[in-house]
Amino acid sequence: MMVKTLLIQCSLLFIILFIQNVLAFDLGVCGNLEAKIDQNAKILHEILGKLTAGNIIISVIGPKSLALDRVESKLNETTAILNRHNGILHELLEAVQRDNRTINLREVANGKPAEQSSVQGELSASRAVDGSVNTFMHTLKEQSPYWIVDLGKNYQIKRIEIFNRNVGSKSTGERLHDLDITVGPSHNKMHLCAHYVGPAQLGAHLIFECEPDENARYVKLMIKGTEYLHVAEIKVYAVDDRSS
């Protein structure tokens, strides 16, 4: 009866703790989340201490029964669940802390001088850094079409976002494929940030992380193969150095 009571208490505590953890998760209060995790760990140890004491008492009274084995199995399952959810909360906290670093980033490509391998009509390179996803740059169909922007100085680049053109047919959107995204301090010192296999869809928003962070002045997009290159907007996010 004692073990059954403790098992019920343990289950209720687990449900309460899990609900509290879900309600406590707020991206703006990471400190509260971390405190909640530590509190849960202490409560878990207290529960396990009580259950251990209860098991010792029962083992003195008599040999283990099949029912007791089932109870112990349930206790082990409950312990595993509590440990797993505490682990998940720790992972969520770490993810929030990583994401918070984006507040120190700023977009550095908007309005910067850009060029491309060829121009379709009046769809020039500057249209990809004009701040609008309703305009787009466009090359001719050629071998290895490219677009490149000069950021004006070296930045610690962390993320590059590409917005595919949002007008046309399905096949038009799918022209964005096999794309190399390179960055570097000069034209002859470019390094691969990411490669996109594709194909993309019309209006697709693609996000690429440069790891490790690259110190670069130039960002270049180039399709490997014979194709058109046309994208609506390219955003380059770098560490904000204005306060340094």
Rounded Cα distance between 186 and 150, Å, is 9
State yes or no: pLDDT of 211 exceeds 70.
yes
Confidence of residue 11 (pLDDT cuts 50, 70, 90): low
Confidence of residue 240 (pLDDT cuts 50, 70, 90): confident
Exposed (0-12), middle (13-18) or buried (19+): which is 229, by Cβ within 10 Å? buried
pLDDT tens, 151-161? 999 999 999 99
**More reliable by pLDDT, 3 or 44:** 44
State yes or no: pLDDT of 217 exceeds 60.
yes
| This prediction's pTM | 0.58
Least confident of 72-76, 160-164, 192-196: 72-76
Rounded Cα distance between 66 and 152, Å, is 75
Confidence of residue 82 (pLDDT cuts 50, 70, 90): confident
Of 162, 149, 141, 135, residue with least CA distance to 229? 141
Of 79, 17, 77, residue with least CA distance to 48? 79
